[in-house]
Amino acid sequence: MKICLVGNSHLAALKLGLKESKLASKKVLFWGAPGDWFKQVRYRNGKLVAPPDGVQIFRKISGGQYDDLPISEFDVIVLHGIYVQHNSVRQAMKMTSKSRFMSAGLMDAALRDIVLRTMAFDLAKNIRGENNVQVFISVTPLPTDKGLNKEQVAPDMIAKVEAAANKLAKELSINLLPQPAESLTDDQLASKEIYANDRHHMLGTYGTLVLNELNARLVDAQ
């Protein structure tokens, strides 16, 4: 089974955690680049296409193997580190902040739309649409120091976004890899222990948890 872990700088945690994970013995390739380069990645003609000015970074991350990523060469594609929850929750909070009334139907439709417009879902949808490959979206933790904290998040908003993402993932035959339960606080935000010194990226220990969760899903699927 060939697995490709695709993403932005948050891939670092997976790379650091791979050795300790249950996926260590599997054939795993990394492909990605830091934020601004990764944001320009598009799916075209069976490939994830890197932006021209960042090709060397993508090649380097893949161990010199790929500029663009041919999806058909893999059995599993994991999109990691692209904000689904974080941006969606922020947007959903903004959405509900000033409106007088939102019916549950409108909330569902709007959240579905917000999630569908995230880069992770956009890429995953396109990949799944044309390839017989398992696609996972590994959610990025909800950081406690980036404008989302217990006081600011409407109590049920995270759950609502999660429900919308799960529903959409099911509809599009995409697998959502939730944030490992061990890394969550009681209020569903990320526990501080998983953060690196920059308080933005995650430690290798978090990467190990994610990869073990992925391994469990792959084993279940088999």
Partner 1 sequence: MEISDLWAPKFALGKNQSVLTAGSCFAQHFGRALREQGYKWFEAEPAPQGASEQVQKDFNYGLFSFRTGNIYSTALMRQWLEWAFEKKTLPDEVWEHEGRFYDPFRPRIEPNGFASIAELEAARQGTLAAIYQGFSTARLFVFTLGLTEAWANRKTGLVYPMCPGTTGVGEFDANKHKFCDFGYRDVLNDLRRIRDMFTWIKPNLRMLLTVSPVPLTATASGQHVLVATTHSKSILRAAAGAMARFPNVDYFPSYEIITGIPFRSMFYDSNLRSVTPEGVAFVMKTFFSAQPALKTSDPAHNPWLAQKSVEAKAEAATTEAATTEAANETGAEEQDDELVCEEVMLDAFGPAR
Q: Which residues bind partner 1 (CB under 8 A)?
A: 8-13, 15-16, 30, 32-36, 60-61, 91-92, 94-106, 109-110, 113-114, 117, 146-147, 196, 198, 200-201
| Partners of 120 in the β-ladder | none
What is the 3 state secondary structure string of 16-37?
HHHCCCCCCCCEEEEEECCHHH
Token representation of residue 209: 């948890």
Closest approach of Cβ 164 to partner 1, in Å? 12
Nearer to partner 1, 109 or 216 (CB): 109
Closest approach of Cβ 209 to partner 1, in Å? 16
Nearer to partner 1, 131 or 205 (CB): 205
Closest approach of Cβ 160 to partner 1, in Å? 13
Nearer to partner 1, 110 or 133 (CB): 110
Nearer to partner 1, 35 or 70 (CB): 35
Nearer to partner 1, 1 or 102 (CB): 102
Closest approach of Cβ 167 to partner 1, in Å? 15
C-beta pairs of 209-213 under 8 Å, 24+ apart in sequence: 209/17, 209/180, 209/182, 209/183, 210/13, 210/14, 210/17, 210/80, 210/138, 210/177, 210/180, 211/14, 211/17, 211/18, 211/21, 211/22, 211/23, 212/21, 212/22, 212/23, 212/180, 213/177, 213/178, 213/180
Closest approach of Cβ 65 to partner 1, in Å? 13
